[in-house]
Amino acid sequence: MSPSVAPPSSLPLSSRPAVAAGPRPPAPSLGRLVLRPEAGSALGLLAVFAIFAWFGGANFLSAGGVASWLNVAAGLGIVALPIGLLMIAGHLDLSIGSIIPAASITTAIIAGLFGAPIALGIAAALGVGLLVGFVNGLLVVRTRLPSFVVTLATLFAVAGLTLGLSILVAGSTSVALRTEGFAKAALGQFLGGRFQVTVLWWLLAVLVAWLVLHHTRYGNWIFAMGGDAESARACGVPTERLTIALYMASGAAAAFVGLSQAILYNSAQVSAGQSFVFNSIIAVVIGGVLLTGGFGSVLGIVLGTVTFAIVNQGIYFTGLDANWASLIIGVLLLLAVLTNNAFRKLALAYSARREGDRG
């Protein structure tokens, strides 16, 4: 019986067998870059930015103009990242529209109405998001119902609970909140008097999502689930645990946005957050993520979020009626879906051709 030998990758560099140096892999060509998931969203962002920079002029390009859409992108982007990962995995989460105000009201009632430490309010708000996310994931994997149906149900259920408990406990649908010190500095201040500190949290979230999706086995599992959940399960991917974890991440992100808004604006409203439901999905789709799952990237989600924010806020710098923004976003969404499908077909054809050449 031959002795076991450790694989080369587990040996120290000095102990690994020498490998003859081969030719370096070719640098990414323009054609390969075009086939990436974020290619369409990058082109869309450049076009949208150029149009609004032309019509908006110096005001749009000023620090105040950039802050107007970057602040919107930050709040939306924190929510859109886990929504994007869920969509790549083949799921949806509509409940974020109720988690945001629920977390906001929870923070305001505990730290504002009851006067408890703000840390306790923040922990409770994040706990609400994690709990709703866990329930969403558990219902999806146990009932096998479409995630659209499950999260639509929790959207209304959590909204009703938030409204009822807010009136019961606070006697109002709005609760005031005053914070100072570290919590205000970390979650509710404006950098340079213009940029919300949430922008920095968004960048941190982008880094974490990028590492998870593109540099860990969990990212491979997410793509596998979106491609074919049954095949992924047969190959040993823990699809149920991963689904629950993704929903909990989505709930936590929505709760974070809700509590940070309460701290930033010194109040919480039970009606806040509903716009995030479809805005996050629109941003993700514009970013190149397919509604059918299995295709997308973190960079694309970021580009789609910025594109949406520019259209949403840039219209105010053009002198046009702000109501046209909804029309532009609708057209962008339709074009994004058509473009995403086209780029995906090109990518699949390119992969098939390479496999044929190898064979």
Res 12: pLDDT:
39
Q: What is the mean pLDDT of residues 262-284?
A: 91
Dist. CA 118–CA 115, nearest whole Å: 8
Rounded mean pLDDT of 177-189? 89
Residue 209 burial (C-beta neighbours within 10 Å; 0-12, 13-18, 19+): buried
CB-based burial of residue 194 (10 Å sphere; 0-12 exposed, 13-18 middle, 19+ buried)? Answer: middle
DSSP assigned state of 269: E
Q: How much is the mean pLDDT over the chain?
A: 86
φ, ψ (nearest 5 deg) of residue 176:
-80, 155
Share of residues in the chain with pLDDT > 90 (%): 60
Residue 295 has pLDDT above 90, yes or no: no
Q: What is the pLDDT of residue 321?
A: 78
pLDDT digits (tens, 9 = 90+) for 103-123: 999 999 999 999 999 999 999
One-letter amino acid for residue 279 of the chain: N
- Residue 170 to residue 162: CA distance in whole angstroms: 11
* E strand or H helix that includes residue 102: helix 96-107
Question: What is the DSSP code string of 234-278?
Answer: HTT--HHHHHHHHHHHHHHHHHHHHHHHHHHHTEEETTTTTTHHH
Q: What is the pLDDT of residue 359?
A: 60
Taking the model in full, what pTM does it have?
0.85
Residue 48, Cα to own-chain centre: how many angstroms? 21
The C-alpha atoms of residue 24 and residue 42 are separated, in whole angstroms, by: 28
**Three-state helix/strand/coil letters over 181-210:** HHHHHHHCCEECCCEECHHHHHHHHHHHHH
Look at residue 204 and tell me whether its pLDDT is greater than 50. Answer: yes
Report the alpha-carbon distance of residue 89 to residue 147 in Å, rounded: 11
Domain 39-341 fold is ABC transporter involved in vitamin B12 uptake, BtuC (1.10.3470)
**Residues 6+ away with beta carbon under 8 Å from 134:** 244, 247, 248, 251
CA distance 311 to 45: 10
Q: Residue 147: is its pLDDT beyond 70?
A: yes
Q: 39 exposed, middle or buried (CB, 10 Å; 0-12, 13-18, 19+)? A: buried
Angle, CA 242 vertex, CA 237 and CA 243 arms, to 5°: 120
More confident residue, 40 or 348: 40
Residue 68 backbone phi and psi in degrees, to 5:
-60, -45
Strands 267-269 and 195-196: unpaired
Q: At what angle do helices 276-286 and 96-107 cross, to 10 degrees?
A: 130
Mean pLDDT across 296-318: 91
Identify the bridge partners of residue 110 per DSSP, sorted by sequence position. none
Contacts of 19 (CB under 8 A, 6+ apart): none
